[in-house]
A = this chain, B = another copy of it.
């Protein structure tokens, strides 16, 4: 997607202030966690017109502060009607979404009409494989364009350099590089996007449990003496998988990541510049500074 063609984007048209009356430019499909609201607020502050569609049971009630509707998982027909009925051509997907079972979905008539495609989407493979097939379905068969968070809220993408007061030393930067190489080596297996490197080796690798649980594991391994590193050491490295579609499932760090990294006794967090989102820039920077951790885009 060429950003300059994005209707309603801050650096194109129509802005909220100078709206042509064509309705919001981008539909934001909101899943779980804090990110949908953080993204919506950041996009609104840039003048981006948004229509939020919350997934029941997942999305925060806070979306009611925006133009919004609710859908249940499986209501593909209602989702498409809501978007197309408003003349919206661009959709972003934000938030945590555990892979559902096809049998748990309450498919609506629009989903049942598209059942062969839905079943193909729900096939095997990891979360990325599922989301990629969903995007293919929506883009190729429904004429909608999927855009990424970086298109509607570019201020949430971490750039190169230090985010807060602290900076990595040469050893931290080598460990960050090792972590990036490990994440790249794991990419074909559609697994995690995070690893903890300490004393030159990978001590924890993220699977389905997620980054927070992995950091709690490192804290427990140190508390029990199973990991005998002393003092502040080790780097959490987060990066998208090689070849990842950056419109979906971009890695995220936030204040809670920093809090858990401090509990795990790490020295800091290194992320791929341009490839990782921040769940609130000011709050994340404050958590890094107060935890004496660096956050470095590399």
Contact = CB atoms under 8 A, between A and B. Distances in A.
A17 interface: no
Given A98-B226, A209-B226, A221-B208, A191 B202 contact: yes
Interface in A250-279: none
Contacts of A189: 178, 181-182, 185, 201-202
Interface string A212-230: 0100010001000111101
B191 A208 contact: no
B226 A208 contact: yes
A116 interface: no
Q: Point out which of A192, A204, A205, A227 has the most chain B C-beta atoms below 10 A from its C-beta.
A: A205
B186 A182 contact: yes
A62 interface: no
A202 B207 contact: yes
A200 interface: yes
A124 B226 contact: no
Interface residues of A, number: 39
A230 B104 CA distance: 12
A9 to B, nearest CB: 34
A200 to B, nearest CB: 4
Copies in the complex: 2
A188 interface: yes
Given A185-B185, A200-B126, A201-B125, A208 B190 contact: no
A142 interface: no
A157 to B, nearest CB: 26
Given A100-B228, A185-B186, A221 B209 contact: yes
B228 A99 contact: yes
Contacts of A203: 191, 207-208
Contact of A227 (B190, B201, B208, B221): B208
Contacts of A221: 208-209
Nearest to A190: B201
Nearest to A125: B200
B209 A190 contact: no
Interface string A31-45: 000000000000000
7 contacts: A98-B226, A100-B228, A125-B199, A182-B191, A185-B185, A185-B189, A209-B226
